[in-house]
Chains A and B, each alone.
Chain A
């Protein structure tokens, strides 16, 4: 993937092409999802009417973008980072899984259980995992920061605002 070069040659606006194809794919997907819904008539619209119309509109926009990408000059594709998005997402999911425990059903039956760590566990864990997202992370510093933030968040959200966040079910039972 080149950076900031104007698309030369056949595809004149690679970014628009990607955007257009994405919209078309989304439209087809939504259309397929909504295909079993009854559209009704204009006089009495059914549940399927709007999803169908809007999917069509999304699709048309996608087609226009795609066609434009071959006609008008536009931006090249942006470089897509890998590390940041991946670890930020993992950190959030880890928080979600461990804040009060979670059962992940496995395809072959049975399930995988995430422990209920509560704010005292899930907080620092998520912070430490998120550290992988940046090349500038200093681990010692982040560790101390994670503890400080957890104390602060517990004091603020749990004690001051009285939100029903589990403290640490695995240790205290609540």
Chain B
């Protein structure tokens, strides 16, 4: 326990430096700004803003990125409540009751409770990350290449099972991601692989190019298809503070949502995504009068929003301790860390405690900032929501172009991104989700490295993966999950969770 506090103290001393405070603030502001835009979720926001962080030192960059993430998530909720457009999957639930509240003139209360609930959840999750970080890192020290490989297999299995839509398509996307990761020079021999002999590809497909294309540009193209039908709440937002009755209804859902979200967030795969859905279902089941749900029940905002934020934060745990990104957002973080020259994994905590604990502490500061800067600024966000998409998309495009260009000062990057944007659009049209692709891409190189090492150690004997107990256990969990997922009855339930 004493360790925890001294570590957190170190973290706060890093995060509270003027420079890092400014970066955290900038991240939260810009993240909210972009995240508020309808149809632009956290993944797209981070992908677009990634280039902004490259010129900053690693600690500052990660603090800023984390700020962008919470900001985007928060902005997404604002859009969900005021415009009835979920910026991303996790705020789908918020639109149900949040927008109903807004229509009844309680938009302010919905925004307020979502901010307060998120803040509470953020505080809890920050402590959880700090508390679980050290022990999990110790576990990771027992991991050899075989265990890492199995862990990543398990993570990818989670990602497919918990992904939305067709499992087989998610599997396909992961494999395509793995395939893309093999492009470029071979790690050991330096042989060019799948590059068409094109020197631009000899370093492999650039992470930012892929992410910005598949999530940024593809998203813009997709949004252009839908004719603009925005249901921005007219009239006043009302008081931002929920009244006493609303507070009384909300505090238990906030507590439950925080707990559910925190636990599900740690799961690899899209655990954080399940939190809000689970929370909403539970609140509806526990309510004395479930018929209020869907008609503006504040519990239906308070619970899922807390779960959402808690999960967003605890999903950093697998990334920071094991170096395994549990979802697409964390995959973007891995990309950012790698570009900064940091190899994610258990060694981060011991080798650069400043970075690790500084980032953890900045999570709490970021949440506080969101509360302080966003509530008074709601009016501004509402104005921003009224900017028509016909002006918004050229602005997004030009930001992305400048960002892409300035990463390497290479115009070819910009053009490659256009290609991946088009490819991403076509993938969506074929019913593929791009998130597993990014996950596969990020894990691909690590998996290959560990697989090859494991095979060298075991002299080419594949049974090493089941003979080593830790590795066997991880693979067993993966197999168990797959068998659960393919049993049709559970599969059906899973669809229900997502359509409800």
Contact = CB atoms under 8 A, between A and B. Distances in A.
B466 to A, nearest CB: 15
Contacts of B414: 92-93, 95-96, 99
A85 B405 CA distance: 20
Interface in B180-219: 182, 186, 188-189, 191, 193-194, 196, 217
- How big is chain B's contact interface, by range? 35 or more
Nearest to B186: A47
Given A55-B179, A92-B415, A96-B401, A34 B394 contact: no
Interface in A124-169: 126-127, 130-131, 133-134, 136-138, 141-142, 145-146, 149-150, 153, 157, 161-165
A23 B176 contact: yes
Contact of A97 (B220, B400, B411, B452): B411
A66 B429 CA distance: 16
A119 interface: yes
Contact of A157 (B178, B193, B402, B455): B402
Contact of A153 (B169, B391, B402, B418): B402
A109 B398 CA distance: 33
B391 A141 contact: yes
Contacts of A133: 221, 224, 393
B217 A18 contact: no
B266 to A, nearest CB: 28
A126 B191 CA distance: 38
B497 interface: no
Contact of B168 (A64, A131, A150): A64
A158 B171 CA distance: 42
Interface of A: 15-16, 18-19, 22-23, 26, 30, 33-34, 37-38, 41-48, 50-51, 54-55, 57-58, 61-62, 64-65, 68, 75, 77-78, 80-81, 84-85, 88-89, 91-93, 95-97, 99-100, 102, 119, 122-123, 126-127, 130-131, 133-134, 136-138, 141-142, 145-146, 149-150, 153, 157, 161-165
20 contacts: A46-B189, A54-B178, A54-B182, A55-B179, A57-B178, A80-B429, A84-B224, A89-B421, A92-B401, A93-B414, A96-B415, A97-B411, A126-B394, A126-B398, A131-B394, A134-B389, A136-B228, A142-B391, A145-B391, A157-B402
Given A91-B394, A91-B397, A96-B401, 13 more contacts: A23-B175, A38-B191, A43-B460, A44-B460, A46-B186, A51-B179, A54-B178, A89-B422, A92-B401, A92-B417, A130-B394, A142-B391, A157-B406
